Amino acid sequence: MNLTSLFFYKQLFLLLSFIWFIKVKLNYFIIIIMIFLTI
């Protein structure tokens, strides 16, 4: 039971960090596009 919940939380953490990573990359990408368009 405890091991299963630990595994679940680990998976959840990986998923959240992955989503956060994608979000950050997307933000940088949008900023770069905005800079490119203003030039």
Question: 19, 17, 15: which is closest to 7 by C-alpha?
Answer: 15
> Token match 């679940």: residue?
8
Q: How many domains does the chain divide into? A: 1
Token pair in block for residue 33: 């596009």
The reported pTM is 0.58
Identity (one letter) of the amino acid at 3? L
pLDDT digits (tens, 9 = 90+) for 1-39: 688 899 999 999 999 999 999 999 999 999 999 999 997
pLDDT at 2: 80
Task: Provide the domain limits for residue 35.
Answer: 1-39
